Amino acid sequence: MPLFSKKDKYIRINPNRSSRALPQPKPEVPDELFSKCPGCKHIIYQKDLGAERVCPSCGYTFRISAFERLSLTVDQGSFEELFAGIETTDPLHFPNYQEKLAKMREKTGLDEAVLTGTALIKDQKLALGIMDSNFIMASMGTVVGEKITRLFEYATEHKLPVVLFTASGGARMQEGIMSLMQMAKTSAAVQRHSKAGLFYLTVLTDPTTGGVTASFAMEGDIILAEAQALVGFAGRRVIESTVREKLPDDFQKAEFLLEHGFVDAIVKRGELRDRIATLLRFHGGDQ
């Protein structure tokens, strides 16, 4: 008997190999096709949000651009922009600030964080301001303050009501004390407009915080808000660490402000145009 037996030569065939599926590339889904609702956490097909961008499940209002807001609010073709082209002198020469501004202008199509002009809402003329949180979180710097001040001065001179959609993360840190000065500057313009007996309506949208809240946002004759909008001055964590107390879960939400008398009404986005038109008629409209 041989010491080593000779093994048969053969090829082992994996019977499962033929049935294995080749790896398939993952389908590419565009980022803009779906959105997750911050309110109910549902995944929503973008087209289901509609032009108003409201969650069909819970009614949460997504943030929209100034131009989207404009198309939902004013009579078609009636808007005439005022005070375009004003640019900051960058008083602090803050690093990369000018580059950031240029990037935001290209991204949003705006020259700054607020769009100002005149328009008609159901044939009633008004001075209109719309802040856009897509532009450096609509922080208030010298240009934002100047445009809003000029808007009120124009409205006072031409005896027009003012409607202002607010949204802001607060003062613009890149401009330091110059940005904080805009709080007093805009408030003075609001007061002159009020002394002339003219109507001022504010609509608080998400988010309205910081120096904007502490100035012109809360100075309207009537203050409306969108549902679940964040409205406040300092942030929750700052307040809790200062007062050493746990704040209510709905603290700084529009509903909380309504309950405590800081807001006159919460209005659905789809009803804002009609509500504003009614208030303009009630308060004299185009004078």
Per-residue pLDDT tens for 104-150? 999 999 999 999 999 999 999 999 999 999 999 999 999 999 999 99
Express each pLDDT in 159-190 by its tens digit. 999 999 999 999 999 999 999 999 999 999 99
Instruction: Annotate 46-109 with three-state secondary structure.
Output: HHHHCCCCECCCCCCECCCCHHHHHHHHCCCCCCEECCCCCCCCCCCCCCCHHHHHHHHHHHHC
Q: For residues 129 and 149, what is the distance between their CA atoms, to the nearest angstrom?
A: 11
C-alpha 212: how far from chain center: 13
Cβ-Cβ contacts under 8 Å for 272 (sequence gap 6 or more): 72, 73, 203, 224, 226
What local confidence, expressed as pLDDT, does residue 43 receive?
87
List, as one string, the DSSP characters of 129-197. Answer: EEE-TTTGGG-B-HHHHHHHHHHHHHHHHTT--EEEEEEE-SB-GGGHHHHHHHHHHHHHHHHHHHHTT
Q: How far is CA 191 from CA 4, 90, 160, 165, 185, in A?
A: 107, 28, 14, 18, 10
pLDDT in tens, 88-102: 989 899 999 999 999
Taking residues 55-72, report their average pLDDT. Answer: 90
Burial 21-39 (b: 16+ CB within 10 A, else e): eeeeeeeeeeeeeebebee
**Alpha-carbon torsion angle 183, 189, 191, 195, nearest 10:** 180
170: left (phi over 0), alpha (psi -120 to 50) or beta: left
- CA dist., res. 88 & res. 101, Å (int): 9
55 annotated to bind ligand: yes
Residue 58's pLDDT band, with cuts at 50, 70 and 90, is confident
186 is in an annotated binding site: no
How crowded is residue 92: how many other Cβ atoms within 10 Å of its Cβ? Answer: 14
Cβ 68 vs Cβ 103: under 8 Å = no
What is the tally of helices (H) and strands (E) in the chain? 9, 9
Please indicate if the annotation marks 58 as binding a ligand.
Answer: yes
Q: What rounded mean pLDDT belongs to the chain?
A: 89
pLDDT digit string, tens, across residues 273-287: 999 999 999 987 555
**37 annotated to bind ligand:** yes
**Residue ranges of domains in the chain, CATH in brackets:** 28-62 (no CATH), 64-282 (3.90.226.10)
